[in-house]
């Protein structure tokens, strides 16, 4: 007697796939990348434009910040007004300007690309941080000189002169990026474009339902007696 032998795959070869599995694998859509090239270009453009706008922040800070004044007696340099709050006012001016620029940049980005996207938010955040740093350094560069000895010698004895512009509270550098990101997310959540809702799939019911017009046989009476047989 001969016995049927079931064919088997060789150990050194991978198991063969069924045609249905291969067809399902080919029909599955390929996963899209997180950031498309257009998204990357938009994010880079946003970061570049906002970073350059930091120069305007530095100019306004130098113009609007209150001045701290020193006076020299020929041997040392002293504060002209020891109770002045101009140093705190300089930090507050920088913070208010940064928040204002953050709101304006968020509105501009939203109006340019109303659809939103992660790349735009990243570009907005990176550009805002860079713009705050640029504004800070530009303000220090355009402000009064930090060489107090040379400025006091040039001003003369008993003549007040402006102190260098300083940012004592470095946390104010976060005013622009935080305001920009928060306002942009709020605008996108309220007035951003919405994706269409997906259609709900209708699944067939697994329960059998009898036809409505089918006659129903009367139930037998358990208490009835059997009719007499002939």
pLDDT higher than threshold 70 for residue 225:
no
pLDDT tens per residue, range 17-37: 555 544 544 544 455 666 688
Percentage of the residues of the chain whose pLDDT score is greater than 90? 43
Domains of the chain, residue spans: 55-66+81-143+160-190
pTM for the model stands at 0.70
Nearest C-alpha neighbor of 152 from the set 69, 36, 71: 71
Question: How far from 49 is each of 8, 73, 81, 104, 193, CA to CA, in Å?
Answer: 65, 47, 41, 13, 24
């Amino acid at each position: 007697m001969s016995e049927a032998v079931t064919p088997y795959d060789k150990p050194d070869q991978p198991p063969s796939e069924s045609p249905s599995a291969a067809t399902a694998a080919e029909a599955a859509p390929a996963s899209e990348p997180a950031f498309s090239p257009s998204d990357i270009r938009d994010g880079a453009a946003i970061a570049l434009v906002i970073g350059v706008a930091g120069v305007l922040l530095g100019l306004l800070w130098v113009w609007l910040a209150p001045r701290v004044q020193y006076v020299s007696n020929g041997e040392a340099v002293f504060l002209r007004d020891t109770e002045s709050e101009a140093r705190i006012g300089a930090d507050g001016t920088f913070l208010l300007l940064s928040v204002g620029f953050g709101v304006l940049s968020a509105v501009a980005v939203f109006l340019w690309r109303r659809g939103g996207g992660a790349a735009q938010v990243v570009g907005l955040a990176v550009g805002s941080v860079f713009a705050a740093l640029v504004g800070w350094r530009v303000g220090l560069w355009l402000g009064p000189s930090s060489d107090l000895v040379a400025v006091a010698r040039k001003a003369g004895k008993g003549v007040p002169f402006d102190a260098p512009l300083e940012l004592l509270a470095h946390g104010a550098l976060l005013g622009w990026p935080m305001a920009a990101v928060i306002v942009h997310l709020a605008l996108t959540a309220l007035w951003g474009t919405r994706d269409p809702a997906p259609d709900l799939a209708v699944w067939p019911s697994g329960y059998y339902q009898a036809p409505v017009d089918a006659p129903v046989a009367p139930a037998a009476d358990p208490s009835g007696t059997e009719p007499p047989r002939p």
